[in-house]
Amino acid sequence: MKRIFAVLLLVLAAHPSLAQNPPPAPAPAAGAAPAAAPPPTPPIKGEVTLGYQSTKGNTDTELANATFSLLYTLTQWSHGFDLAANSASTDATKTAEAYLAKYKGKRQFDEGKSYMFTALDWSHDRFSAYEEQLSASAGYGRKLIDTPKNTLNAEVGAGYREATRIDQTEENEAILRLAMDYELKFTDKTGFKQSLVIESGSSNTSTEAISALRAQLVNKIGLVISYRIKHNSDVPPGIVATDRFTSISLAYAF
């Protein structure tokens, strides 16, 4: 784990924008009438969800799940954080327990069409093929589609992953990361999102796909229906390679 923590320290050191404020707007020319200021965009946006989740694969169970996401946007930088947890027990025996933590930092250039990214992903699942996976990667991303209703980003990068299989075998390897994010907006607060992340190394290729549909109910409260697939190409004998998660949650946006 020491190499991953070293990468994490380098990532944080390379992101001074966490303490940076947007530059002040230029003063109007002498004698010119001041232009009407557009409504300010909040630099911090987030969402908290709580709901029901059904899992299929290495565990077949129904349980409660909770997620938290935060996006901090500056002039050229953005920082996204995602947390998720779920747990279930039957007759005092654990039947499901999983945690996720993700961070992605972006630095835009080329008039916002391209960006460099840093991604840190950690997952812990007692009932999956891999009990723990931790990866750090960096690379290049580009907006392939950027309209008011449709956005599509593609990314390619490289990094390093440390993993512990359910049989306690450890794997440490370099990885190639490929990712795509698509969003279709129906309105400002309703829409569809699709993400795909592939991290491929010499020992294992992990693939995660998430589909989510969000509908506004009232004010800042919405309904989120999501379907997540996590696949590992190499798993111990007797372990299912693909886990599927279906969630229905109430979401509070802020």
**pLDDT (tens digit per residue) in 169-188:** 899 999 999 999 999 999 88
Residue 70 carries which side chain, given as an amino acid letter?
A: L
Query: Cα(225)–Cα(221) distance, rounded to whole angstroms?
Result: 14
Q: What is the domain-level CATH number for residue 186? A: 2.40.160.40
Task: Please provide residue 43's backbone torsions phi and psi, each rounded to the nearest 5 degrees.
Answer: -70, -20
Domain assignment present for 39: no
Query: Cα(183)–Cα(151) distance, rounded to whole angstroms?
Result: 5
95: pLDDT strictly greater than 50: yes
Q: How many CA atoms lie within 13 A of 202 on its CB side?
A: 5
Are the CB atoms for 165 and 236 separated by under 8 Å?
Answer: yes
- Say how far residue 197 (Cα) sits from the centre of its chain: 9
Measuring CA to CA, how many Å separate 74 from each of 83, 130, 142?
21, 36, 18
Domain assignment present for 68: yes
Task: Return the bridge partners of 155, or none.
Answer: 141, 179
Domain assignment present for 89: yes
**pLDDT (tens digit per residue) in 211-231:** 999 999 998 999 999 999 999
Amino acid 96: pLDDT: 76
Domain assignment present for 27: no
What DSSP letter does each residue of 23-89 carry, written as one string?
Answer: PPPPPPPTTPPPPPPPPPPPSEEEEEEEEEEEEESS--EEEEEEEEEEEEE-SSEEEEEEEEEEEEE
Domain assignment present for 21: no
Instruction: Tell which residue, 220, 222, 195, 223, has the closest CA to residue 209.
Output: 195
Q: Say if pTM beats, i.e. exceeds, 0.75.
A: yes
Query: Cα(98)–Cα(100) distance, rounded to whole angstroms?
Result: 7
Task: Assign residue 129 a region (left: φ > 0; alpha: ψ between -120 and 50; beta: otherwise).
Answer: alpha
11 SS3 class? helix
Domain assignment present for 32: no
Torsion angle in degrees (nearest 10) through CA of 179, 156, 79, 148: -60
What DSSP letter does each residue of 188-206 carry, written as one string?
Answer: SS-EEEEEEEEEE-SS-EE
* 23: its two tokens: 């530059």
For the chain, how many structural domains are there in total?
1
- What mean pLDDT, rounded, does the chain reach? 85
Domain range for 55: 2-14+44-253
Angle (CA) 182-60-123 rounded to 5° is 50
Amino acid 192: pLDDT: 97
**pLDDT (tens digit per residue) in 31-66:** 555 555 555 667 899 999 999 988 888 878 888 889
Domain assignment present for 30: no
Task: Please provide residue 21's backbone torsions phi and psi, each rounded to the nearest 5 degrees.
Answer: -110, 150
Are the CB atoms for 120 and 136 separated by under 8 Å?
Answer: yes
Domain assignment present for 132: yes
Residue 6's pLDDT band (cuts 50, 70, 90): very low
